[in-house]
Amino acid sequence: MGEHPSPGPAVAACAEAERIEELEPEAEERPPAAPEDFDPGNTGYISTGKFRSLLESHGSKLDPHKREVLLALADSHADGQICYQDFVNLMSNKRSNSFRQAILQGNRRLCSKALLEEKGLNLSQRLIRHVAYETLPREIDRKWYYDSYTCCPPPWFMITVTLLEVAFFLYNGVSLDQFVLQVTHPRYLKNSLVYHPQLRAQAWRYLTYIFMHAGIEHLGLNVVLQLLVGVPLEMVHGATRIGLVYVAGVVAGSLAVSVADMTAPVVGSSGGVYALVSAHLANIVMNWSGMKCQFKLLRMAVALICMSMEFGRAVWLRFHPSAYPPCPHPSFVAHLGGVAVGITLGVVVLRNYEQRLQDQSLWWIFVAMYTVFVLFAVFWNIFAYTLLDLKLPPPP
């Protein structure tokens, strides 16, 4: 980007010529062995002196930010040795948690010049830099993301989900001839995507309810939050991780309704949206000094106000006289299920940029909690409705 070379090359030392060779990241996932000239005893370590001489000779071939990280890696090892595997992982864009700690504990200041101070960037570079400052609390991660991001693949997950939600809403609006407060239409619940307590055995409804919204006012806020928060998060953390948080929030939302508001249906993508937004806001609060996004206090206040207004609308609608008695209007509890996922699983995902989640003990704790909740909700849906002799509204 700009004057930088193309991001993402994996660099390995060549034993025969004692030089750095640029490789494509897809060429070889298996790291090469340490060369004899730098590791005569084949110990898996390189002396920091030889490592520095290697950087001085060939550092011009690297991204400036990546060279800074390598120098920080050298300075972080007081014992005079660098793990060759850490070096290979860095050059292959595969950083371990121990590598991150080595960098953070190094005795060299990384940022002689912050990424924000760089001049002469084109529009796409400024956009990537903006996303980095919006989502990442550490300068080393922001520079790493700036050098590595290629927009391949693009943030397809959030965009696809949003387009599908809009398409289903428009189709439903045309078929019902109603766009504002669609949920009040007598035929609204007949759609096979809506979660309905009488049809809870149809498992797809626990997920597909996100494609049905109460009205254009409901859809509008969810779409805005998905695009303004979800897309930048997906650009940084990838579709797999952000999709996991989103879907976990959606499923937790419908299951929470089936446990806590047993007679009510569910519509809308608020469970997934609130999971992402809650995770992002919690990450900002937990890394307040490191987050450099502009007007962060004001923007947090605006986000919380918008979320509160949407939640208040959902509560009001739930207790408003129903258009299809005795079935009430859709529940608001899905919002709370999404928030619970966001401040647990979501925060762990956002706090571990490009790190292996399976190495984080907190990740496994929250996964276990989520699994227990899902199993509890499944058994609750199987047995509790009968044991409590609950009178459910008739199927639509």
Residue 103 located in a structural domain: no
In one letter, which amino acid is 194?
Answer: V
pLDDT of residue 66: 61
The DSSP secondary-structure symbol of 238 reads: -
Same domain (yes/no): 191, 273 = yes
Using an 8 Å Cβ cutoff, are 10 and 26 in contact?
no
Pick the catalytic residue: 254, 258, 269, 270? 270
For residue 46, what is the domain's CATH number? Answer: 1.10.238.10
- Report how far residue 382's alpha carbon sits from residue 376's, in angstroms, rounded to the nearest whole number: 10
The question of whether 58 is a catalytic residue gets the answer: no
Number of domains in the chain: 2
* pLDDT for residue 67: 64
300 and 191 part of one domain: yes
N- to C-terminal Cα distance for the chain?
56
Catalytic entry in 77, 185, 213, 335: 335
Given 91, 110, 132, which residue is the final one in a domain? 91
Q: Has residue 244 been placed in a domain?
A: yes
Are residue 365 and residue 218 in the same domain, yes or no? yes
Query: Is 392 among the domain residues?
Result: no
State the pLDDT at residue 352.
85
Whether residue 196 lies in the annotated active site: no
Judge whether 348 and 357 are in contact, CB under 8 Å: yes
Q: Are residues 177 and 85 in the same domain?
A: no
Q: Are residues 237 and 372 in the same domain?
A: yes
| pLDDT value, residue 396 | 84
Would residue 359 count as lying in a domain? yes
Is 158 in the same domain as 87?
no
* 250 within some domain: yes
Within-domain flag for 230:
yes
Q: Kindly state whether residue 119 falls inside one of the protein's structural domains.
A: no
Q: What is the pLDDT of residue 30?
A: 40
- Whether residues 159 and 59 fall in one domain: no
Mean pLDDT by 10 residues, the chain (396 residues): 39 33 37 52 69 65 61 59 63 49 42 68 88 87 83 92 96 92 89 94 96 93 93 94 96 97 95 96 88 82 90 93 88 97 94 82 94 97 90 88
Residue-range definition of the domain harbouring residue 285: 154-386
Pair 202, 331 in one domain: yes
Residue that terminates a domain, selected from 50, 76, 91: 91
209 in the same domain as 86: no
pLDDT of residue 121: 84
Q: In degrees, to the nearest 5, what angle opens at C-alpha 211 toward C-alphas 229 and 228?
A: 10
Indicate if 65 and 162 belong to the same structural domain. no
Q: What are the pLDDT digits (tens) for 78-122?
A: 555 666 666 665 555 544 444 444 444 443 344 446 777 777 788
Residues 373 and 289 reside in one and the same domain: yes
Return the CATH number at 374. Answer: 1.20.1540.10
Q: Is residue 99 part of a domain?
A: no
Those residues with Cβ within 8 angstroms of residue 205's Cβ, 6 or more apart along the chain or in another chain: 192, 193, 194, 195, 196, 199, 254
Mark whether 200 and 64 lie in a shared domain.
no
3-state SS string over 92-140?
A: CCCCCHHHHHHHHCCCCCCCCCCHHHCCCCCHHHHHHHHHHHHHCCCHH
Contact 146, 128 (CB under 8 A): yes
The H-assigned helical ranges of the chain are 48-58, 64-75, 84-91, 97-104, 123-135, 139-148, 156-176, 205-208, 216-225, 231-237, 239-260, 270-286, 296-319, 333-341, 347-351, 361-379, 385-387
